[in-house]
Amino acid sequence: MTGTERLALLERGENPKLILRMKSGFAVIGDTQFLPGYSLLLAYPEAGQLNDLHGATRDQFLHDMAALGDAVKVATGAIRINYSIYGNLDPFLHAHVWPRYAWEVDELRTMPPFNYPPELREDAGCLFDMGKHGGLMRKIREELERRP
């Protein structure tokens, strides 16, 4: 699915992973929850990369990314939040917001989350499920809504 298609679904309210519409885009919960609370901010209107944004638009995206990180940190009790913006596979601007936990295995805790072994990252038990992860998603939304 392209960035344009993803954003259209979110705009129509047809994506159950929507956490909240923010000023710069859509906050969504990640497809996989091997690190519970993993979320993304998808820029809207669609942009190719951070360098395509300027001035207040860029500032707002970065502000919203940090606000999402703050909300994820509070909602999950994570010890740290990692942020990453790539766009190599899906070439539209989106930021990954990764909670990091004390319970992570030592050799994985210091690695970027995408370096986790595929059998952990893609485990079927970690795929987003509203029954399993909906409460956490609501907590993140509530934290975001509390912020100015």
Instruction: State the pLDDT at residue 1.
Output: 79
Bridge partners of residue 19, in order along the sequence = none
Name the pLDDT band for 35 (thresholds 50, 70, 90): very high
Is residue 148 over pLDDT 80? no
Q: 114: which 2 tokens? A: 């995408």
Q: Which two tokens stand for residue 140?
A: 């993140």
For 77-135, what is each residue's pLDDT tens digit? 999 999 999 988 889 999 999 999 999 999 999 999 999 999 999 999 999 999 999 99
pLDDT tens digit sequence for 50-70 = 999 999 999 999 999 999 999
Residues comprising the chain, all counted: 148
Ramachandran quadrant class, 77 (left: phi over 0; alpha: psi -120 to 50; beta: rest): left
128-137 pLDDT per residue, tens? 999 999 999 9
Summary mean pLDDT of the chain: 95
How many C-beta neighbours within 10 Å does residue 21 have?
Answer: 13
Alpha carbons 126 and 38: distance in angstroms, whole number:
11
